[in-house]
Amino acid sequence: MLNFITKFLLNKEIVVCNLHRQTLPVVNNRENRKDYIFMDVLYLWRIFPISGKYKLKFKVMYFVLNLVNPKYIIDINWTSKWNSLYKVWTKKHQKSKFIVFQHGSYRGGVVTDRIHRYTKCDIFFTWSDYFTDLFKKYNCDKRTEIITFGNPIYNRNERDEYKYQNKSHGKILFIPTAILEHRLKDYLDMSDKLKKIGFSVEIKEHNYQGRRIQRSGGDLYFPKIEDIVKVDGDLEIILKNNEFDLIISDNSTALLDAIYFKNKVLYFAPDYFRKEYVSNQYSKFLKNIFYNFQNFKKMEDLYNCVSLEAQEKLLNNMIYKGDNILGNYL
């Protein structure tokens, strides 16, 4: 088996990994590379060109995993059929572990979807004790190890290198989660209001925006946004540059990103029939300006809504600062 050979010759074990933005900081960590050889899991799935809808594809992948015999299989979810195969394989190979990294804050820290609440992995690395306690409550009857690891992206950055800026250039950036058709009007109304009192407004769209996404419970349509200037590029770089006076977001993980890199933020979450859209961990700390934005008369009204103390408390509640070194947690 390949892992036995690498361990014998190089004193390193193989880790099969989904190379996602949440896992790459761990894969690229120098300390981890001293102990492990990281292998792209998609490469293994593509070794044999068999259509994914056939059971034969999964049997072949199971055989490939037997050949590689990885120490760990790392991914960012347990919800797909592929992920289920990893759990089946490690159940039969108990010296190996299927590890899932948390890759989002769900609905502002509220997990509503049953498929996400109940773990199907051996180890789940969370962003903070808040999420660890939450998932332990949901999975109290399971053997899954739920461990506070921190957000790998934040772990690789020293937050002390960033500073809050006192800017009044009138530049606003929206970074919402994907906006459904019936909620778009609220965002456009907010944008129009900000423009009327003197702001320039830009938006960094979610990847789903402008697309129809197929779901088992019915398709979701996220319409194109026509009336707000689009910003392209890597969101992490944009937030590190701290070029905007204010960042406005809803229950998106991007709100935590903005706070981590010390941007001033405002929470804007339009009403919705699902209460977690407006009542969640974010709303416990930040005032939802959806309920009063129509009363803004001048730019200072918006600036005065910022509370650095509140956004720091939110970050401290939802994020633990880790170090990305697997050996310190396993």
In DSSP notation, 35-48 reads HEEEEEHHHHHHSS
**Token output for 187:** 């965002």
pLDDT on residue 52: 58
Could you tell me the residue ranges of all domains in the chain?
2-157+321-328, 162-317
pLDDT on residue 189: 94
Closest CA to 229 of 180, 183, 174, 185: 174
Q: What is the pTM of this model?
A: 0.92
Could you say which architecture CATH assigns to the domain 162-317?
3-Layer(aba) Sandwich (3.40)
pLDDT on residue 94: 92
Alpha helices in the chain (DSSP H): 2-10, 24-27, 30-35, 41-46, 55-68, 81-92, 114-117, 129-138, 152-155, 184-196, 235-241, 254-260, 281-285, 299-303, 308-318
pLDDT on residue 133: 97
pLDDT on residue 214: 74
- The SS3 of residue 101 is strand
pLDDT on residue 252: 94
2-157+321-328 matches 162-317 in fold: yes
pLDDT on residue 217: 63
Could you say which architecture CATH assigns to the domain 2-157+321-328?
3-Layer(aba) Sandwich (3.40)
Answer for the pair 77, 67: CB distance below 8 angstroms, yes or no. Answer: no
How many CB atoms are located within 10 Å of the residue 30 CB?
A: 8
Positive/negative CA dihedral, 59, 63, 66, 68: negative
Output the tens digit of pLDDT for each of the chain's 330 residues.
788 888 888 999 999 999 999 999 999 999 999 999 999 999 888 887 766 566 888 888 999 999 999 999 999 999 988 899 999 999 999 999 999 999 999 999 999 888 899 999 999 999 999 999 999 999 999 999 999 999 999 999 999 999 999 888 999 999 999 888 888 999 999 999 999 999 999 999 998 888 888 776 667 888 899 889 999 999 999 999 999 999 999 999 999 999 999 999 999 999 877 788 788 999 999 999 999 999 999 999 999 999 999 999 999 999 999 999 999 999
